Structure 1
Amino acid sequence: MGEYEKNSLSLTGAIGLGTGVMISAGIFALLGQIAELAGTWFPLMFIAGGIVTGFSAYSYIKMSNEYPSAGGIGMFLVKAYGKGTLTASAAMLMAVSMVINQSLVARTFGTYTLQIFNIEEGSFLVPALGVGLLLFAFIVNVSGNNFIQTFTSIISLLKIIGLVVFAMGGLWVAGFSVIPAEGGSRTPDSTWASMIAAVALTILSFKGFTTITNSGSEIVKPKKNVGRAIIVTILISLVVYLLVAWAVSSNLPLSSIIEAKNYSLAEAARPAFGNYGVWFTVAIAIIATISGIIASVFAVSRMLAMLTDMELIPHKHFGMPGKIQTHTLVYTIVLAMILTVVFDLTRIASVGVILYLVMDMIVHWGVYKHLRKKVNANPGIVLTALILDAIVLAAFTWVKLNTDWLIVAFSIVFIVLIFVGEHLFLKNKTAEEAKS
């Protein structure tokens, strides 16, 4: 298993890791869903999402400056709330939302790959290819490779260049016109609630910056470079997302973007460049999803191993040999595979949004209530981040209650189960320690 060491991650490496996780499924899988909710001006939702993410990142940067740690968010929660149910549950929500993101990436890989062969996205091959990619990520992570940082940095650069080429080519064909996508027939009317809900999905495409906070203690000069890496990563991603969204908007009517929402980039390449454009777009999607999933699997398994070492989550070996991180890697991959097979892209993204925003609000409240003086955080900025999260989560939940209430119910039950499970685990552990 690849292990990082102190001062082993340069500023460039940290940016590569962040963009590697961020610019993967986010833009490929979510663009059509964002268009469906936001309507013709959907590219602007990425700016709103970038602003909300910027406020949100402030708390993480302040915490990283004070407590640079490989534990990242798990360690921040311990500093804010102690080793209790809230810390353990919020850390689990973070870990599970990252696993959900892996299943989103896996299904995106399957959906885009099939575009080469003109196979319908409803095919069983979508989850089958997704499971195959997860298996590949497991093999890379478990084989003891130390090239994960270098690999993700190089691949991140390749896919960013590829996406910019795609975007500029699409815009060139469209004459670089800044006009909203044409409505076309059968397009739903967007409301204020649905537009704010669309911002929730853009936040999901930016949340890869948390990978950098999880690598805090390994980054060279962390007090200076963690914040820089996060800001640069968010800005690079915002520019790439805007260019791509603008290119798609210029080449397809809104109805077509929504109809092909799970593979809208490939569909937008068709009128602009024909089959060659589709193949090029699919190639970028494959590169992006492979690099994103390898980096994400590594980050989640390490976070779960850290929570296990801190005795905040239960752990069973099930007869497996090797270190705890190898075991958590297996759990991560198995859960991601189950989600990939059971849920479609829209539902995976929806659950991921709800879990992530709940966790994010718990982090902001912890910083505001318990740590703002220790980490020298501006309370106004932290509260703004908390309020923006609450508004976006409320709008997203409202829209989903009206369109797919089952996902909201599933998310609530899942969150309750995590909190109850962690409470019982920690209570039993305390009782056992008292006996001994």
Structure 2
Amino acid sequence: MSEARTQSPSATGPEKKKAGALTVRQAAFIGVGSMVGAGIFALLGAAGEVAGAAVWISFLLAGTVAALQGYSFARLGARYPAGGGFVEYVVRGWGDGHLTGVIAWMLIAVNAIITAMVAVSFGSYASAAVSDGAGWTTAFAVLILLVMAGLNVLGSQAVARAQTVVVVVVVGILTVFSVATIANLNVDLLAFSGYPSFRQVVSSVALTFFAFLGFGVITFTSKDLAEPRRQLPRAVYLALAIATVVYVAVAIGVFGTLTVEQVIASGGTALAVAAEPVLGSAGYWLMSITALFATAGATNSGLYPATGLADQMAASRQFPPVMGHRVGGRASMGIVLTTTAAILMAIFLDLNAIASIGSAVALIVFTLVTFGHMRIRRETGARLSVLVLANLATIVVLVAFAATTLVNEPATTITLVALLALSVVLDLVWKSRRPAMTDAGQRTR
């Protein structure tokens, strides 16, 4: 049996209660905070261009696809709880070769891109709240990255407490928004007769699925759960259920209040515009506050996997040992590297042009994880039929994404190829040196 397929101590034997461990609710809220971030504010207009008023169906379909992959991840996490999250599942399914290393490097880079994008979104809302111009956007983006990095350095409990506040505020306000708009919606705006073809609705799932990418973050909480075998699946399902209900309700509220043309024209302020007819001018500020909390929470959750990913990959020698070190005895190299990269990108890059890269990489990784899961399903007890259905659904979304987004966004395609090439080079360079090293610094074969 390969090194990757041997059982780690965390995957076997009785689980011991850990002091200061996260609860199911806290783990789920870390995932909800990552999912219900900038996506719901930015996606409605773009999805409306493809799916029209049927965006709520698109979110429902995307939630179903995420739930199918969530089944795969939950089964793997219950069997192999580890701080490396779903990268550990890649190792279990495919071994410790180049594929795992390349995926791990890509995830580090993509995580930094998405975190930077969300931080810039926070900066935009914060800048608009304090001034008419956008001159403070970068400053606020850097500030939120540093603050949330500090929370992550303090530990998982600090992250969980912050996310609890964020999720309660965001979900609470979005619930008020949904109830108010649905109670006053114009049923004619949601008439089935005005919906585009089902093919177009399916195509839009490639966009709305982006709003569910954060559920993978929950797998990195395994190391902080008292009983991950029992608690991780519950956290995954709870987070996906909350996110799906929120997305569907918000979409119905917005498209039942505004015409499709108005939603598209409103862009990222669609929720604020939809809130005004029923909540008055206070609705705009209510949605602005929600956006600030949501993007701050998404930044916090985006940084959370960095420590576990870097530590796990350094321990398995997929990354150089330095990636498992602590700066100043507290800050993990994963956090330092991700935060530094996110700050540099927030300052120097046009993140809107490459933001879709997160969807492409996540869809590929999710598919590879579940294909690997099929190879070891007897160890997890997962049903092959569900795993096959999960991958079929994800592949359909990936093909739709390639046809609707990558074709029309050359910057995203170029970035994806460059990111893949860089990850391959980093993996090859490190592993060309790794055989000559052991933990004791001696030569090995």
What TM-score, normalized to structure 2? 0.85
Q: Distance in 2 between matches of 1:218 and 1:108?
A: 29
SS in 1 for 2:53: coil
Q: Which runs of 4+ in 1 moved over 6 A?
A: 189-193
Are the equivalent residues in 2 in contact too, given 1:39–1:190 (CA < 8 A)?
yes
* Letter aligned with residue 333 of structure 1: T
Are the equivalent residues in 2 in contact too, given 1:65–1:226 (CA < 8 A)?
yes
1:380 alignment counterpart: 385
**Which residue of 82, 88, 101 maps to 1:75?**
88
How do 1:165-204 and structure 2 match up within 5 A? 165-174=176-185, 179=190, 195-204=201-210
1:399 alignment counterpart: 404
SS in 1 for 2:82: coil
Q: Distance in 1 between matches of 2:196 and 2:187?
A: 25
Alpha carbons of structure 1 residues 315 and 25: separation in structure 2 relative to 1, 3 Å: farther
Are the equivalent residues in 1 in contact too, given 2:355–2:412 (CA < 8 A)?
no
1:139 alignment counterpart: 150
How far did 1:145 drift? 8.2
**Which residue of 195, 210, 216 maps to 2:216?**
210
CA deviations 1:262-286 (Å, max 9, x no partner) are 3322232234434311111111111
Are the equivalent residues in 2 in contact too, given 1:115–1:282 (CA < 8 A)?
no
* Letter aligned with residue 211 of structure 1: V
User: Are 1:417 and 2:422 counterparts?
Assistant: yes
1:371 alignment counterpart: 376
Q: Distance in 2 between matches of 1:343 and 1:44?
A: 34
User: Are 1:301 and 2:318 counterparts?
Assistant: no
How far did 1:44 drift? 1.2
How far did 1:239 drift? 0.7
2:288 alignment counterpart: 282
Alpha carbons of structure 1 residues 173 and 102: separation in structure 2 relative to 1, 3 Å: same
**Which residue of 314, 318, 330 maps to 1:312?**
318
Q: Mean alpha-carbon deviation: is it higher for 272-281 or for 92-101?
A: 92-101
Runs of at least 5 residues in structure 2 that lack an aligned partner in the other structure = 1-16
User: Are 1:257 and 2:263 counterparts?
Assistant: yes
Are the equivalent residues in 2 in contact too, given 1:193–1:399 (CA < 8 A)?
no
CA deviations 1:185-237 (Å, max 9, x no partner) are xxxx9776654342123222112222221112432332222112211111111
Alpha carbons of structure 1 residues 66 and 246: separation in structure 2 relative to 1, 3 Å: same
SS in 2 for 1:203: helix
Alpha carbons of structure 1 residues 320 and 150: separation in structure 2 relative to 1, 3 Å: closer
* Letter aligned with residue 385 of structure 1: A
Q: Distance in 2 between matches of 1:86 and 1:239?
A: 36
* Letter aligned with residue 235 of structure 1: A
2:101 alignment counterpart: 88
CA deviations 1:9-48 (Å, max 9, x no partner) are 1122222222122212221232222223322311211001
1:408 alignment counterpart: 413
* Letter aligned with residue 89 of structure 2: F
Q: Distance in 2 between matches of 1:430 and 1:6?
A: 38
1:66 alignment counterpart: 79
Q: Distance in 2 between matches of 1:98 and 1:328?
A: 11
Alpha carbons of structure 1 residues 255 and 129: separation in structure 2 relative to 1, 3 Å: farther
Q: Mean alpha-carbon deviation: is it higher for 225-234 or for 215-224?
A: 215-224
How far did 1:117 drift? 6.1
CA deviations 1:395-415 (Å, max 9, x no partner) are 111222442223122212212
Are the equivalent residues in 2 in contact too, given 1:73–1:91 (CA < 8 A)?
no
**Which residue of 114, 130, 134 maps to 1:101?**
114
CA deviations 1:104-142 (Å, max 9, x no partner) are 32122133335546847xx45434432222122123333
Runs of at least 5 residues in structure 1 that lack an aligned partner in the other structure = 184-188
How far did 1:382 drift? 1.2
User: Are 1:40 and 2:45 counterparts?
Assistant: no
Alpha carbons of structure 1 residues 321 and 406: separation in structure 2 relative to 1, 3 Å: closer
Are the equivalent residues in 2 in contact too, given 1:182–1:254 (CA < 8 A)?
no
* Letter aligned with residue 25 of structure 1: A
Q: Distance in 2 between matches of 1:29 and 1:265?
A: 10
CA deviations 1:289-331 (Å, max 9, x no partner) are 22222232122233223222322123658x9842485322121
Q: Distance in 2 between matches of 1:36 and 1:363?
A: 32
Are the equivalent residues in 2 in contact too, given 1:59–1:377 (CA < 8 A)?
yes
Are the equivalent residues in 1 in contact too, given 2:354–2:411 (CA < 8 A)?
no
Q: Distance in 2 between matches of 1:332 and 1:432?
A: 26
Q: Distance in 1 between matches of 2:390 and 2:300?
A: 30
**Which residue of 358, 361, 382 maps to 2:364?**
358
Q: Distance in 1 between matches of 2:49 and 2:315?
A: 43
* Letter aligned with residue 381 of structure 2: N
Q: Distance in 2 between matches of 1:292 and 1:53?
A: 18
How far did 1:356 drift? 0.7
1:186 alignment counterpart: none
How far did 1:180 drift? 5.5
Q: Distance in 2 between matches of 1:180 and 1:98?
A: 39
Q: Distance in 1 between matches of 2:143 and 2:225?
A: 32
User: Are 1:129 and 2:135 counterparts?
Assistant: no
